[in-house]
Amino acid sequence: MPHIAPAVKPANPNFSSGPCAKRPGWTVEALANALVGRSHRSKPGKARIQRAIDLTRELLQVPADYRIGIVPASDTGAVEMAMWSMLGARGVDMLAWESFGEGWVTDVSKQLKLEDARIIKAGYGELPDLGQVDFDRDVVFTWNGTTSGVRVENADWIAADRKGLTICDATSAAFAQNLDFAKLDVVTFSWQKALGGEAAHGVLILSPRAVERLETYKPDRPLPKIFRLTKGGKLLEEVFEAATINTPSMICIEDAIDAMEWGKSLGGLSAMQARADANFKVLEDWVAKTEWVEFLAKTPANRSNTSVCFSIVDPAVTALDGDKQAAFAKAIVSRLDKAGVAYDIASYKDAPSGLRIWAGSTIEASDLAALVPWLDFAFAEELSALNKAAA
């Protein structure tokens, strides 16, 4: 007997974990005042870049003595700038529990080839033992594992009297989770995640301790121009005063400003976080009453409220080999894509097979509420097909 498709579809089917959905009500007219055709170094161009920096400081509640810069190559560029410019002054502990953390491990071990690098890992769905971290060393970690849906609950595990630097990839945590800047020396993110902004630009936030490292440590390796944050042993302050290293897109700048102005209109950081939490609650309530799905993140306190990852745990599916389990999940994704219900909800290519649904503040809870019956419908249809094929 065929299953009946739900009557209501999400008004916005965009649930990608990056680039993420635009803010509610966004239209291209939001970019009408972008300074296209103007130099980013012109007085009005620098003013718009500075506006983006100022809004970042205000919304994220960044301390006044921390520098904020807009840099090339998205969050990846920002993390790489920090690692290539700062690591090597002392030993480093690399934390990894999903693919992006693994990427930073690869860069440190195979590209930078640092000899004194300890790697502290955990599998998908879990955090490593944070008690192993030595804060006399530098530490590199992701606050929110975008491809596993596992986040650190807070920064209580980070030593306040640390000697090393903490370098935090916060790209899917910024604007949705509480970043404790007193415990963080380098924070990076990109607009394309929690703001639903455009890609290719990263944001780099430096504590005074990070600035001191840049001015007192010269790595014994060549640095590409787009990685250079000092000149003559002094910080390039202009990078953090609206003069970017290379030419930014003024359309992307305007779009980021629009997203942050929207966040400010909601009530700021707490309101953006509350939206993400309410969105997660819709998914959490669905999982609680649904037998065929479970969170990939095993510990409730460590479950992301933005990049929410799911495992399909129905016995008929888990009995399949790995390739067939992946094919089953892909069939659900494909069915919902073709129906115009949900786009881009497959798990990350290197993660365990399953589903991943973005629930950050630019998503409407009503769209998630409309989505979950469709998830059940698609699962039922694919399970029927599986049973029929096995008969």
- The three-point CA angle 204-207-208 to 5° equals 135
pTM of the model: 0.97
Residues 226-234: contacts with CB within 8 Å, 24+ apart?
A: 226/71, 226/72, 226/73, 226/77, 226/81, 227/80, 227/81, 227/84, 227/85, 228/85, 229/81, 229/85, 230/85
Among residues 210, 234, 264, the one where a domain terminates is: 264
Give yes or no: residues 84 and 199 share one domain: yes
Assigned domain for 48 exists: yes
Assigned domain for 4 exists: no
Assigned domain for 76 exists: yes
Give yes or no: residues 90 and 147 share one domain: yes
- Among 165, 173, 178, residue whose Cα is nearest residue 193: 173
Assigned domain for 299 exists: yes
Question: For residue 6, is the peptide bond before it cis, meaning its omega torsion is within 30 degrees of 0?
Answer: no
Q: Which pLDDT value is given to residue 194?
A: 86
- Measured CA to CA, the distance from residue 205 to residue 296 in angstroms comes to 30
Pair of tokens at residue 329: 């999940």
Residue spans of beta strands (DSSP E) within the chain: 67-72, 92-96, 117-121, 138-142, 144-145, 150-151, 166-169, 186-190, 201-206, 230-231, 234-235, 293-295, 307-312, 355-358
Q: Which pLDDT value is given to residue 1?
A: 56
Query: Collapsing DSSP states into helix, strand and coil, what is residue 78?
Result: helix
Q: Which residues form the domain of 381? A: 268-390
Give yes or no: residues 342 and 233 share one domain: no
Residue type, 221: R
- Among 14, 15, 17, 5, residue whose Cα is nearest residue 335: 5
Contact 40, 250 (CB under 8 A): yes
Q: Which pLDDT value is given to residue 391?
A: 77
**At which residue do the structure tokens 């202009």 appear?**
238
Assigned domain for 127 exists: yes
Assigned domain for 316 exists: yes
Which is it for strands 67-72 and 201-206: parallel, antiparallel or unpaired? antiparallel
Which is it for strands 166-169 and 150-151: parallel, antiparallel or unpaired? unpaired
Q: What is the pLDDT of residues 330-387, one digit of tens each?
A: 999 999 999 999 999 999 999 999 999 999 999 999 999 999 999 999 999 999 999 9
- Measured CA to CA, the distance from residue 122 to residue 96 in angstroms comes to 7
Assigned domain for 10 exists: no
Give yes or no: residues 310 and 351 share one domain: yes
Give yes or no: residues 235 and 99 share one domain: yes
Instruction: Report the number of distinct structural domains present in the chain.
Output: 2
pLDDT along the chain (391 residues), means of 10: 89 97 98 96 97 98 98 97 98 97 97 97 98 98 98 98 98 98 98 95 98 97 95 96 95 98 98 98 98 98 98 97 97 98 97 98 98 98 94 77
- The three-point CA angle 148-145-171 to 5° equals 140
Among residues 235, 264, 293, the one where a domain terminates is: 264
Q: Which pLDDT value is given to residue 390?
A: 86
**At which residue do the structure tokens 């008690």 appear?**
131
Give yes or no: residues 214 and 126 share one domain: yes
- Measured CA to CA, the distance from residue 260 to residue 264 in angstroms comes to 6
- Among 26, 24, 140, 20, residue whose Cα is nearest residue 78: 140
Residue type, 142: T
Give yes or no: residues 330 and 346 share one domain: yes
